[in-house]
Amino acid sequence: MKKLLLLIFVILCSCQSDKKEKASTLSQPTLQQILPPEPYFVDIKVNDVKLAEPVFGDWLYSRNEKGQTYEQFIKTKHVVPSKEENIIYLQPIGTFNSLQVKQIELVRQYLQIFFQLETKVLKEVSNDIIPNNARRIGDVGQEQFLAGYILTDVLKKEKPDKGVALMAITEKDLYPKPEWNYVFGLASYRDKIAVSSMYRMQKEADFNLSLDRLLKICSHEIGHMFGLHHCIEANCVMNGTNSMVETDRHSLRLCSLCQRKLNSGLKYDNKKRLLELEKYFKGNKLNEGLELMEKDLKSIQ
């Protein structure tokens, strides 16, 4: 009888221990909210550039976005990589010339550094995958694909091994709905899928400028998939954009707040990431990005 009572006592203690452990795990976001930011994020904040007042035609001129605090980010459900899902995939759709193929590979390299997650390019698929009812002719005679169709009828059906995010890249222009002229990219955060277009990135631009634009759009859309909302405080790659002119004004860099949000789930080494970004920008002669990384590195030394 005593042995039976002892066994019951041990089981009850074990159950209570499990409950406490689970409770601790569930309360972790609350602890994160009240903890001050790590020194890294405090040190690089000096390099944040306040976002200028929007002018007519800018994203924020006609949109009353509230922004997203760190506490709001923590409380909101968002994608966090795991051992089962930790690879970013790129799905090319269309027929690409040699320079475009090179840019897609450079985007892959960049995203792997930016998010500190393995990134792979899937075998390209033909434009024939887009039916006539998801195509139209745009305002200057260009063919456009319906971005939502690519998300729901192409990407949503794909299940790449260990995929945490899947982004299509097309050489055709995109539109999100009939009343809109175009969109640079579109993401479904719940489904972990997105699409970006190279079409407008290359207009009146040399290789490096079009690459710079593509890096901004792709990192922006995948940033959304990891829970980042539009940034309204600093000049940041997570700023909303209405035009290529506005995109060119925006920074390649994540501001200190957006970096803190991203790092909370991905748990990468901040200095390692900066050093790798610095090397990437230097190797690809992207001088603006290089200057930004050098400033951040100087701030943490």
CB 154 within 8 A of CB 170: no
Q: Give yes or no: residues 114 and 216 share one domain.
A: yes
Q: Which residues are catalytic?
A: 221
Last residue of a domain, one of 176, 199, 226: 226
Please report, in tens digits, the pLDDT of each residue of the chain (301 residues total): 434 333 333 333 333 333 333 332 223 444 444 578 899 999 999 999 999 999 999 999 989 999 999 999 999 888 899 999 999 999 999 999 999 999 999 999 999 999 999 999 999 999 999 999 999 999 899 999 999 999 999 998 888 999 999 999 999 999 999 888 999 988 888 889 999 999 998 877 899 999 999 999 999 999 999 999 999 999 999 999 999 999 999 999 999 999 999 999 999 999 999 999 999 999 999 999 999 999 999 999 8
- How far separated are the first and last CA of the chain, in Å rounded? 66
Residue 154 lies inside a defined structural domain of this protein: yes
Strands 163-170 and 87-93: parallel
Distances (CA, A) of 209 to 51, 212, 279, 288: 22, 5, 18, 11
CA dihedral 19, 23, 24, 25 (to 10 degrees): 100
CB 151 within 8 A of CB 195: yes
Residue 10 lies inside a defined structural domain of this protein: no
Instruction: Provide the token pair at 101.
Output: 């193929």
Please report, as a single letter, which amino acid is at residue 181.
N
Structural domain span for residue 115: 79-226
Helices (H), 86-154: 98-114, 147-149
The answer for 145, left when phi > 0, alpha when psi is -120 to 50, beta otherwise, is beta
* CATH code, domain with 94: 3.40.390.10
Beta bridge partners of 116: none
Residue 4 lies inside a defined structural domain of this protein: no
CA distance 194 to 150: 8
Last residue of a domain, one of 184, 204, 226: 226
Q: Give yes or no: residues 137 and 108 share one domain.
A: yes
Q: Give yes or no: residues 221 and 237 share one domain.
A: no
**How many domains does the structure of the chain reveal?**
2
CB 155 within 8 A of CB 195: yes
Q: Give yes or no: residues 128 and 222 share one domain.
A: yes
pTM: 0.86
